[in-house]
Structure 1
């Protein structure tokens, strides 16, 4: 239905200027919609009024000037010292033009903002690789390397990043390697300048107990500083060259990452609580109170902030093997490869929480990807496998898994506010297959047919799969793809 803007619940908290724009631009075009019947033609004007598409055109540009030099200026007994250095200037810009209804704040959700922004960066770097030992007992080679980079952002100032590392080839088949580095991720243009896309979330005023809709944007913050990370990696590579093992390659790497000043957003209700209950001076500028509003709040913006810390460590494993089929008098070539990751912890730390989400979907404790490829002339076949171990639905919930229904422990757990029926869900293994055959393979012409089957055994996901993020489970089922590739 249509009525005066002054009485519309979603508009009554706007300031006078916005109200004037709404009255001038929206009310004259309002057409009531008949929710009964199926006469769409009669309702076209109404649909055109309230069913606007929300969109924005974003244009990004980068201007870049760089100068680099590299070479080996001198030689040590173990080999040449390699160096590289360079300077760079670049400017990133963004211009965003949103839809007309967005500019009028006409839509209940996703009123994309009209904005532009720019970041200028100046940096200089130097790198060096130094051979220490070569062709010595228990040291076929030992090399150290290092790098340093100074980067100056127009938005947040200058930062220094660096890395030091080394490789030690004990023999032809055994290598140790390690790297220690200081890394950064600078805030991008959206995180700095985007006024956000306006929405209408539901919030609760904890002081009065009133609840209702309010205006909100997830807004950029020009005061953001770069995220800072400290990374350590160390591992080994084993690649023998004798007998049956000549096609084997095994690598194991341990990694430890700690990031500070992680750019993130707070929950909108937490921001409102901090202002109303604790009078937080930093967040008060993002909340607009309005005594005429039923909930006493007309707007709660959600700013990008340097909020969190992140700590994680684990192990990466790679195994590859070229199977010597000729030893078994078999034609073709067969190779297998597996990549695995073990995440020991994945902790997100805020001022009030420290939550380990390892084992939750998206950060499973164990995950593996395997590939076996067989080639024989024009025929190529691939068999792929993906494994994710048992996952948790939530890092903060307590499940009733394994508890006897009606037992004292079951009843006590069920009373907890964060208890759920089942928190642990089974491991998942999925197989995919692919066959390719090249019918014509000439310099000026190539015709190839292929068949791919995803989720080969049509494994069905548990019922919880639709409610969780990540890729632990396949939601589609078995799928076939067949086609022909032609090049000429």
Structure 2
């Protein structure tokens, strides 16, 4: 991080900085079994090159060693005394995923105490204070899984789910902003009346070509009719754009739920299950381990969420009771286009909670089953729960 600040005059000062952050990600799955090696290690025959004896009537050897297709194969015996160390070492493989996220921020802003220029009301001791500036940000994400992860489930890694594919994405944003604090009355016929204003304009560009802009602003007022009693109120428009993970995290089918309320004999009143494509009399099998598939990951088409907030409050600090302060606040928050994952169980439960055939919950469209009605027997079937 680099920065500088200083005075431009007795009225104006500046503050500027640049910062760069980088996080390295590495995931290593050790002690995974190789599917192809396990197949060869279980295909064991009597070694024709070694004579049998009464004490050793069978000389185990991999068929692949005898026919020369894999001379390094070691017989794997999961029963009896268990596998040898040589067999375990032969079967062990590993998979890796490597990634980088980074952020750059450049900011320049100027603060002005305009009271030094006479910009103040006749009833205030302090003048108008301003702050304005410009900011640039860039965030990026890269994920590079090895070949074993990219080719799942047909690759050699046992115990893994669906494929993890490479991902690369970024977004950048330019912003201009300004804020003002305007004392209207101070220590006169009322104790204080102060107005606050703020505005920020942001222009986003996503690496897939999408562009959008946002506006945020605030209006606040503090009113103290007498010392020790202060009323305050604010009206704000807040915005949160999707972050780099919400945009570009790799989409994978993975374990995301623990309950399937439709894993039973479907009846005519199971409206939510019927809306998922099941039929009366069908009986999807439950997962004995309570593990169901979900589609997880980012969504490059997300748009910013917005909130409108209103706050009203009062602060009481009676002078006759030292160090006592009482605060009462009321607020109202309306959120639109919220960016959030629902979770597989929440999606399923919302869908099956409907009690009439005349209404179908939108959550039902997020559930995809295989022809047998399962959401766990087929790797490519999921309940869609990405943001």
Number of positions where the alignment pairs a residue of Structure 1 with one of Structure 2: 273
Question: Are 1:190 and 2:262 matched, yes or no?
Answer: no
| CA deviation after TM superposition for structure 1 residue 161, in Å | 0.9
Q: Distance in 2 between matches of 1:256 and 1:210?
A: 45
Q: Distance in 2 between matches of 1:287 and 1:120?
A: 35
Rg larger in structure: 2
SS at match of 1:191: helix
Match of 2:213 among 142, 147, 158: 158
Q: What is residue 183 of structure 2 aligned with on the other side?
A: 131
SS at match of 1:164: strand
Q: Quick one: structure 1 residues 273 and 297, their matched pair in 2 at CA, closer, same or farther if it must change by over 3 Å?
A: farther
Q: What is residue 83 of structure 1 aligned with on the other side?
A: 130
Q: Quick one: structure 1 residues 144 and 120, their matched pair in 2 at CA, closer, same or farther if it must change by over 3 Å?
A: same
Q: Distance in 2 between matches of 1:147 and 1:62?
A: 26
Q: Distance in 1 between matches of 2:131 and 2:283?
A: 63
TM-score using structure 2 length: 0.58
Q: Distance in 2 between matches of 1:115 and 1:286?
A: 25
Q: Distance in 1 between matches of 2:283 and 2:108?
A: 62
SS at match of 1:80: coil
SS at match of 2:278: coil
Q: What is residue 312 of structure 2 aligned with on the other side?
A: 234
| CA deviation after TM superposition for structure 1 residue 187, in Å | 1.0
Q: Highest relative contact order (Cα 8 Å, sep 6+), 1 or 2?
A: 2
Q: Quick one: structure 1 residues 234 and 36, their matched pair in 2 at CA, closer, same or farther if it must change by over 3 Å?
A: farther
Q: What is residue 302 of structure 1 aligned with on the other side?
A: 384
* Match runs of 1:69-468 below 5 Å: 69-73=110-114, 74-77=119-122, 78=124, 79-98=126-145, 101-105=148-152, 106=157, 107-109=159-161, 113-137=165-189, 139-155=190-206, 157-200=212-255, 206-207=278-279, 208-211=282-285, 216-242=294-320, 245-266=321-342, 268=344, 270=347, 298-300=380-382, 302-305=384-387
Q: Quick one: structure 1 residues 261 and 34, their matched pair in 2 at CA, closer, same or farther if it must change by over 3 Å?
A: farther
Q: Distance in 1 between matches of 2:377 and 2:110?
A: 63
SS at match of 2:337: strand
Q: Quick one: structure 1 residues 100 and 157, their matched pair in 2 at CA, closer, same or farther if it must change by over 3 Å?
A: same
| CA deviation after TM superposition for structure 1 residue 258, in Å | 1.7
More deviation, 151-160/200-209: 200-209
Q: Distance in 2 between matches of 1:247 and 1:85?
A: 36
Q: Distance in 2 between matches of 1:36 and 1:144?
A: 79
Asked if the contact 1:231/1:257 (under 8 Å) is kept, the reply is: yes
Q: Distance in 1 between matches of 2:349 and 2:300?
A: 21
| CA deviation after TM superposition for structure 1 residue 169, in Å | 2.2
SS at match of 2:242: coil
Q: Unpaired segments of 5 or more residues in structure 2?
A: 1-33, 43-75, 264-276, 352-356
Q: Deviations over 1:185-210 (max 9, x none)?
A: 11112211222343256866624543
Q: Quick one: structure 1 residues 35 and 63, their matched pair in 2 at CA, closer, same or farther if it must change by over 3 Å?
A: same
Asked if the contact 1:93/1:117 (under 8 Å) is kept, the reply is: yes
| CA deviation after TM superposition for structure 1 residue 142, in Å | 0.3
Q: Distance in 2 between matches of 1:83 and 1:67?
A: 14
| CA deviation after TM superposition for structure 1 residue 287, in Å | 5.2
SS at match of 1:264: coil
Q: What is residue 349 of structure 1 aligned with on the other side?
A: none
Asked if the contact 1:289/1:297 (under 8 Å) is kept, the reply is: no
Asked if the contact 2:197/2:220 (under 8 Å) is kept, the reply is: yes
| CA deviation after TM superposition for structure 1 residue 301, in Å | 5.7
TM-score using structure 1 length: 0.47
Match of 1:64 among 105, 127, 131: 105
| CA deviation after TM superposition for structure 1 residue 170, in Å | 2.5
Question: Are 1:48 and 2:92 matched, yes or no?
Answer: yes
Q: Distance in 2 between matches of 1:215 and 1:135?
A: 65
Q: What is residue 8 of structure 2 aligned with on the other side?
A: none
Q: Deviations over 1:279-320 (max 9, x none)?
A: 9999989959679x9978832262534xxxxxxxxxxxxxxx
Asked if the contact 2:161/2:379 (under 8 Å) is kept, the reply is: no
- Relative to its length, the structure with more strand (as a share) is 1
| CA deviation after TM superposition for structure 1 residue 129, in Å | 1.2
Q: Unpaired segments of 5 or more residues in structure 1?
A: 1-24, 306-488
Q: Distance in 2 between matches of 1:40 and 1:233?
A: 68
| CA deviation after TM superposition for structure 1 residue 265, in Å | 3.3
